Chains A and B, each alone.
Chain A
Amino acid sequence: AQTVTQSQPEMSVQEAETVTLSCTYDTSENNYYLFWYKQPPSRQMILVIRQEAYKQQNATENRFSVNFQKAAKSFSLKISDSQLGDTAMYFCAFYGSGGSNYKLTFGKGTLLTVNP
């Protein structure tokens, strides 16, 4: 079974600065997908960024980028120029293309607070 570990329960950053959230995972599959989702307070979960394991190039979406290290099974999220609206719970999620190719496995999340 796949596991996803987010070792930082909480983090804070000053507005306009850069912050990196960590995520590690464990799987025996070779083809899989990794996601970062954002869950603002009392609001629904939205996709931030997605990475296909077969792609060596790290995904980027505007101020959000990932550092995907397949051998190390690491998938960190970097947020540049942090904004107050980035305050949220961030979840790392794994999607396998093998036997579990119907569900997301989530980490416990990191609560990010952006301070003015």
Chain B
Amino acid sequence: DTGVSQNPRHKITKRGQNVTFRCDPISEHNRLYWYRQTLGQGPEFLTYFQNEAQLEKSRLLSDRFSAERPKGSFSTLEIQRTEQGDSAMYLCASSEDRAVQTQYFGPGTRLLVL
């Protein structure tokens, strides 16, 4: 297993366009998380899946954001009508389905909205 992978690693888009990011968690990890990290800040929680169920969404996740995890495997995060304020690193993490497990992070997708 090579760990959590994310694609693309970098994305440049124009304001108003839609973008979609993909995360492939460590196999057999039932829990999957999305975080956003802006320059000079620590990651901030966006949303959480247990298998295919999206169990929690942060207030940071506006209506323009949607995340899915079909079949409880990979996950996608879509941002519609991107804004310059969406520019950030989007991190995905996964963990085993136990009470407390270490979250393993992917390399992230860096988004720049022009």
Residue of B nearest to A32 (CB): B100
Instruction: Give the number of residue pairs across the A-B interface with Cβ within 8 Å.
Output: 51
For A43, give its contact among B40, B100, B107 (CB under 8 Å). Answer: B107
Q: How many residues of B contact A (CB 8 A)?
A: 23
Check A45 against B100 for contact (C-beta < 8 Å). Answer: no
Contacts of B103 in A (CB 8 A): 104
Q: A44-B105, A45-B105 are in contact. List 10 more A-B contacts (CB 8 A).
A: A4-B42, A44-B106, A44-B108, A46-B105, A47-B104, A101-B99, A102-B33, A104-B103, A107-B42, A109-B41
Residues of chain A touching chain B, judged by Cβ–Cβ distance below 8 Å, are: 4, 33, 35, 37, 43-47, 50, 52, 91, 93, 95, 97, 101-109
Chain B residues within 8 Å of A, Cβ to Cβ = 4, 31, 33, 35, 40-45, 48, 55-56, 91, 99-100, 102-108
